[in-house]
Structure 1
């Protein structure tokens, strides 16, 4: 099977890149966008069997047009929801419309877990739960030795730190001077007064970073794939926080986190139950094969039948949503344009400086 990947480019740790690597390891042929692509998109669509789409914020309608063309060429198409995708769809009506339009085109909607699927259901999008294929999660991974000092790792991207529970982590750092903290992604100046905090501005080697901690703090305030939590459990690390996963020590306040940390400090053992759960349900090879099986089932009727359905759906969409042909950029969301009552949606829009879209 040949799978082409399009959409957001979030770097080497993006979920699209991880899926591409895992599917390639499982025997699939994979390809991605090229800036100097000489062929037309219609011609390119004849060279792959399936299209994997990821995006967070709709900047224009070019991605939707390409999906429509791929469907009319008989390709199986899947849109994978992860990260902040659901919040962006809640914050930005055009992004929500593009997501729904893809579903109407017959694009399979995949969510990493039940929490994300439930959030999508509230937006009118039905999604199947398909766990992510993360090459850093393996049934063959062996628990790594703990660091000498009890150490907690927390990922707090500077721009989105409040959505990642930055306020709660700040309170925990102040409460527990005897615990060493590794903070990934935040501004080092924020922690200048704390001798027990080390800030890592980037982590090229995720597994090596995880081996430096005894446990992972994950207190995200939005549903996500929880890939870092799965990676931590794969190495025998405990996870403390809000991750909607089995075998996580659940806590959503500084008091609850402090209690869970204190309990673990008294007995800092390997998290074998979590590791076994991850090995059974989230091993990258198993998840990649499951994805490929699903895509193959979508192709079983033959590309001709898929193309007929894709053409019919594309024609209906063109009539119902003529803006798909527009070359104008979509205005980005602003705090004033947010209509959602969800405070996290407003926080997202206020936290991220979204540049104006470029004409497609």
Structure 2
């Protein structure tokens, strides 16, 4: 009887052993939907990381960067996500105040942008701009001042209360005009023919011919050129400079796999991750890849940059208030 019991135990151990040997650690990343879409950088980044980590990278998604932060604030990350990937610089201050993230130890010197932050590491960046069809607009404005003087030019923007580019424009105007921001909004109010709730809605209407300009990013022409083979879409180059957007990631303070999370943050600042950003997320990588990604930079040259801004909730509210005041007036 003892021999039978021993054989049974050996059988159970033998059956269970392959599962324990094959079991992999999981890294759970919470990001916005387009990042892990079939056309986004997520699938290729997943393959690159899994080839060296012997782990399973599991994506979870929300509609937008704002929705990412709202979710983890609401639930205190009860889902057990390890990393939140996709906040932008307008949400960094709010994220820190809610004590949702732990400090990292990743070296961020030598990046293509200046960056010093204890909680977040950058993975891409871009610049807000207006896109135009060069077949229709032969003499594009070269400054905000000229834009306001050209009453014949129609514009589509996004609502700064709901849209990242919309808030980006509010930041941009505030950086240049400061206390006179409301006055400038009033000057261009009659030229704004549509204020869409989302970037995709607004950009789609522009492509249908509903305006001369649409708020977007300096990298938008690269997509048209490299994917569609169309070179007529251009980015305005304003001599005042362009406001930036930096996208970041951070480790959540109740992450279930800290070692893997730290490894992924390190990996995100290597070529294995960064090479998939230009023609995957259509933003600039934070590593200098101007040689290997020459066609991208040729199609989306870097503009004159304004200083980085990491606004508080109060500052964002003031930007939006300047825009709202121009509508009421």
Instruction: Say which structure, 1 or 2, has more relative contact order (CA 8 Å, 6+ apart).
Output: 2
TM-score, normalization by structure 2:
0.38
Task: Name which one, 1 or 2, has greater alpha-carbon Rg.
Answer: 2
Name the structure where strand makes up a greater proportion of residues. 2
